[in-house]
Amino acid sequence: MSIVVSNISKTYGRQNAVDQISFTAQPGCILGFLGPNGAGKSTTMKILTCFIPPSSGKASICGYDVVTQSLEVRKNIGYLPEHNPLYTDMYVKEALGFMADVYQIPNKSKRIAEVIELAGLGLEQRKKISTLSKGYRQRVGLAQAIIHNPPVLILDEPTSGLDPNQIIGIRNLIKELGKTKTVILSTHIMQEVEAICHQIVIINQGKLVADDSIEGLKNSHPAKTLEEIFIYLTNAVLQND
Amino acid sequence: MYNVLTVFAKDFSDYFNSLVAYITIGVFLVVTGLFLWIFPDSSIFEYGYAGLESLFNIAPYIFMFLIPAITMRSLAEEHKEGTFELLATRPLTDWQIVFGKYFASLLIIILALLPTVIYYVTIYQLGVTKGNVDSGAVIGSYIGLILLGAGFTAIGIFASAISKNQIIAFIIAVFLCFIAFSGLDSISQVLSLQNYDTIITSFGINQHYQSISRGVLDTRDLIYFISFTALFLLITKTKLGSRKW
């Protein structure tokens, strides 16, 4: 198991942002991490990437604990944060070069050329990031996340705000990466989940409400589409009917 | 160490990409040049003595505004743009981030000071007896100025860490630099505090700066500057770590 999350909680003041969540994920698996806005998806991802520690519970990545072995964890993950923050004053190659230096990658220029090819940034590689369109910025963010060839990828809404063609491009890239790596991605697009994810974890108001394969979910909620299942599981008003 | 260098290189080249470095160095040289050679009140030609005192008297006040202008961006912008998350989730420790950013800003200050050596060479040549300059005092003053810059830079990085807003970071840094440099001296003049005036002034930068400027490098002054800088960097690191509380 490359990602093991057991009973993690995160409280801000009195509010429980994440409440006793557990799940696991293994290599070769793309895990769709779903939930309404404010459900605690980004908070969980920030805990997994060692940006903030959990208030209680344990999480480990590739066997390393996110609190006590945070540097090891951070070497083994590629993280694309929500809203894809980038150094917009840098050139594409410069930004990738910086990340390559951070991970102390040997043979830096060769690897940069590889990820530029992988992320489809060939035509844009000499441009300043501030001049790129949203889709290409997203590709730069992804390229930065995979530059050290990490076994685990954590992607927070990698396709939000992209046009349909760009979504397909990014999706194919993630699918390709998911063949060998463990990928967690959060999204609001159900077709995307059906297209690329193997395992689905749904959380609502900080609590885990489903952890299953797509087939498993559909079997336990017969005659419902994934979208209906999601609404059923996360919308309290409908549940009470 | 390598990681500090990586962050340092990123920030240092950022200062040059964004023109901050050129403008800072340019403005510093123009202003010190004006005070030293043109403005009658402080010009060497009016003064008539071969010395760089007016440069070393005015430089702390220029630094008081210039250094906060350099450092205000360093962490405030990272927090505002969200790129701090990008840095903090890479295999970098908070200390490496703080030191990388600190030394990048400090090097800009040192680069601004470097060309003023020309002023010294000029005065050296212009002396009635050539070379009639108190070189020891000049070297001491340069060391003092670099240490003062190091302290101000630490204040600036700290101010930049506590706000997402660059203007607020700038104003806080200017205020703290002012208090640390001359504010404490002035406070010690308050009548009811007169019994403690030596203690209060010894906390201020000015006394130690003046002492080094005389050309005597006292370890007490050196320790003062090092601990002053370390204190502000420690608070900065603590502030960055506070996201984990």
Residue B145 host element (H or E): helix B135-162
How confident is the model at residue B53, as a pLDDT?
85
**CB spacing of B83 vs A79 below 8 angstroms:** no
Question: What are the pLDDT digits (tens) for B138-196?
Answer: 999 999 999 999 999 999 999 999 999 999 999 999 999 999 998 888 888 887 878 88
Sign of CA dihedral B124, B107, B164, A130: positive
Task: Indicate whether A238 pLDDT > 60.
Answer: no
Task: Indicate whether B136 pLDDT > 90.
Answer: no
How confident is the model at residue A230, as a pLDDT?
87
Structure tokens at A220: 């336990």
Parallel/antiparallel/unpaired status of strands A77-80 and A152-156: parallel
**CB spacing of B82 vs A77 below 8 angstroms:** no
At residue A24, the 3 state secondary structure works out as strand
Structure tokens at A115: 């990820």
Structure tokens at A207: 């609590």
Q: Residue B68's CB: how many other CB atoms inside 10 A?
A: 25
How confident is the model at residue B46, as a pLDDT?
80
Question: Testing the interface with B: which of A10, A46, A102, A140 to mutate, by most B Cβ within 10 A?
Answer: A102
Question: What are the pLDDT digits (tens) for B31-69?
Answer: 999 988 888 888 888 877 778 888 899 999 999 999 999
At a CB cut-off of 8 Å and minimum separation 6, what does B119 contact?
A: B32, B33, B36, B52, B55
Q: Residue A54: closest CA among chain B residues belongs to which residue? A: B244
**Interface residues of chain A, partner chain B, Cβ below 8 Å:** 46, 49-53, 71, 74-75, 77, 79, 81, 83, 85-90, 94, 98-99, 101-104, 144
B231 interfaces chain A, CB cutoff of 8 Å: no
User: Which residues of chain A does B14 touch, with a Cβ-Cβ cutoff of 8 Å?
Assistant: 87, 89-90
Parallel/antiparallel/unpaired status of strands A30-34 and A182-186: parallel
**CB spacing of A102 vs B90 below 8 angstroms:** yes
Task: Indicate whether A119 pLDDT > 80.
Answer: yes
Please give the DSSP secondary-structure letter assigned to residue B115: G
| pLDDT classification of A217: cutoffs 50, 70, 90 | confident
Q: Residue B97: closest CA among chain A residues belongs to which residue? A: A102
How confident is the model at residue A215, as a pLDDT?
87
Q: What is the count of residue pairs from A and B with beta carbons less than 8 Å apart? A: 56
Q: Residue A239's CB: how many other CB atoms inside 10 A?
A: 12
Task: Indicate whether A240 pLDDT > 80.
Answer: no
Task: Indicate whether A241 pLDDT > 60.
Answer: no
As for the ipTM of the complex, it is: 0.89
| pLDDT classification of A168: cutoffs 50, 70, 90 | confident
- pTM for the model: 0.92
Mean pLDDT, residues A109-126 = 90
At residue A29, the 3 state secondary structure works out as coil
- Provide the strand spans (E) within A35-181: 56-61, 64-65, 77-80, 152-156
Mean pLDDT, residues A151-168 = 87
User: Which residues of chain A does B85 touch, with a Cβ-Cβ cutoff of 8 Å?
Assistant: 46, 51, 81, 85
Question: What are the pLDDT digits (tens) for B57-100?
Answer: 999 999 999 999 999 999 999 999 999 999 999 999 999 999 99
Residue A33 host element (H or E): strand A30-34
Task: Indicate whether A184 pLDDT > 70.
Answer: yes
**CB spacing of A98 vs B85 below 8 angstroms:** no
How confident is the model at residue B200, as a pLDDT?
86
Sign of CA dihedral B209, B214, B215, B216: negative
**CB spacing of A102 vs B17 below 8 angstroms:** no
